[in-house]
Structure 1
């Protein structure tokens, strides 16, 4: 499942892609959202909260999407051949270079520049299409979608803990996270860091990488973890570094990935082979990578 760093980069990309002009195309392929048309509205930007995406519109509504395990948002150029100035009820025809008319219904089939629209986007994995005259954003295999009033966002996010990448993260938030972690008592710290109700945004990658840097076993009791507030600060630093990386989010082999996915490879500190195990209670247990020497239980 994409973690907070990937979701933040996605939010930034959607914000830029939908920044100019009204939507000229809108499709929400979700059972509870059938009939909702956002065409003609302007995007006010997309923000992330943990693993959630909130795309706000000029009519006071927000489209909430969640990538879950396999979801992605793809951004491609909207074809220049289509006359997007046509009214909502019109087709808007413009002649192609070869003289054949192309209408608004064909917009998703063509691209321009080095990136072209994927013809497979018309398939059953597409859950949302939002397009301006310049860019088309297509949500594939999205795991969750809601349309709500923007002022109700806080109600939607209420079950979640503080966003580790949030703009409001400060010393007070950091201290509160530390207290919330300690309050989990005997619960395994690896499972606590994955609990979105305690701290929103982390997944198995940054759980492993954060615990390694603090030399804490994923199975250590949360109440026994020294300075859990500093642990949240480490997670934030690693994830922001990934979100801001010009080459894309951290992948295996980058400086941040020193434990995740490296079972059997030598620890970068002590050369002991990295191991993996399960943390948390079934069926919600997840994989945890660790060094058995640096991160003693």
Structure 2
């Protein structure tokens, strides 16, 4: 699932393939921009902003795309067969003499003036993987809606940019609270620790092909959050998770918790599948 770390990796691949090179092929397969002619222009850079991708092109243009749930950009060598999906799923093609970047199933694709980028990313909170990361501002924005469920607040890109549904579930597990607990009900200091943990987890995974939140070396000696009030203190302790267990709760419904052995549960929150451990996490549930 594309989240801030995945989008940053995508931006890096696109930048390596396109930046500094003249477009010899450019095809935007959306009605509004189908006639746009970008051939002959040079791609300046490709930048990630939260979960948004900004491909800047000379002449003051930016191609803005967003992957949402299942969009993807694939990079191929010139002349290589495209294998990212059927042709009708292709929304964009950008090519030069060495590489071709193909955008599949892109739900958001628009061409705008670079000077107008703030119209599409200006609402975002501080970027967990960006140079503008500001944990104090992220904390302030989360606390601005104290009655909001924590899971919803973490997913709101206006608070902090880059967290998706996987990290939402995993961060709530690390904080030992359910995603339905109101922000204001978190024990003192836990929200600040959660913001710190979010930044560390995304950075730990920014170069990984397989996202993991269980035992990344970068986090072993850094506690992330204190147990929530009311959390069970008698949970069974299990050995550290096996290497193949990359996530604590996300996608693990009906399987045993890696920490206490309780059965992981799942329910929808704001139309997104949400996972939690009833033994480790305290707070309201559906």
TM-score of the pair, normalised by structure 2: 0.82
Q: Secondary structure at the match of 2:158?
A: coil
Is 1:195 the equivalent of 2:156? yes
Q: Is the 8 A contact 2:257 2:263 kept in 1?
A: yes
Q: Secondary structure at the match of 2:117?
A: helix
Is 1:164 the equivalent of 2:128? yes
Q: Is the 8 A contact 2:74 2:84 kept in 1?
A: no
Indicate the structure (1 or 2) with the bigger Cα radius of gyration. 1
Task: Pick the aligned partner of 2:119 from 155, 179, 187.
Answer: 155
Q: Is the 8 A contact 2:29 2:91 kept in 1?
A: yes
User: Unpaired runs of 5+ in structure 1?
Assistant: 80-110
Aligned to 1:124: 88
* Cα distance per residue 1:166-188 (max 9 Å; x no partner): 1221xxx1011112112212111
Q: Is the 8 A contact 1:278 1:288 kept in 2?
A: yes
Q: C-alpha displacement at 1:219, in angstroms?
A: 1.2
* Cα distance per residue 1:105-124 (max 9 Å; x no partner): xxxxxx2xxxx334966x22
Cα distance in 2, alignment partners of residues 187 and 24 from structure 1? 49
Aligned to 1:86: none
Q: C-alpha displacement at 1:289, in angstroms?
A: 1.0
The root-mean-square deviation of aligned C-alpha atoms, in Å, is 2.0
Q: C-alpha displacement at 1:190, in angstroms?
A: 0.8
Is 1:273 the equivalent of 2:263? yes
1:161–1:256: structure 2 CA closer, same or farther, 3 Å change rule? farther
Q: Is the 8 A contact 1:276 1:288 kept in 2?
A: yes
Q: Is the 8 A contact 1:68 1:143 kept in 2?
A: yes
Aligned to 2:274: 288
Task: Pick the aligned partner of 1:242 from 183, 199, 205.
Answer: 205
Cα distance in 1, alignment partners of residues 84 and 165 from structure 2? 33
Q: Is the 8 A contact 1:15 1:45 kept in 2?
A: yes
Q: C-alpha displacement at 1:233, in angstroms?
A: 2.0
Cα distance in 2, alignment partners of residues 207 and 222 from structure 1? 13
Is 1:209 the equivalent of 2:170? yes
Residues 3-82 of structure 1 correspond to what in structure 2 (within 5 A)?
3-79=3-79
Q: Secondary structure at the match of 1:62?
A: strand
Cα distance in 1, alignment partners of residues 246 and 88 from structure 2? 36
Q: Is the 8 A contact 2:126 2:132 kept in 1?
A: no
1:142–1:168: structure 2 CA closer, same or farther, 3 Å change rule? same
The number of aligned residues is: 252
Aligned to 1:262: 252
Q: C-alpha displacement at 1:19, in angstroms?
A: 2.7
Aligned to 1:83: none
Q: Is the 8 A contact 2:47 2:53 kept in 1?
A: yes
Q: Secondary structure at the match of 1:45?
A: strand
1:118–1:270: structure 2 CA closer, same or farther, 3 Å change rule? closer
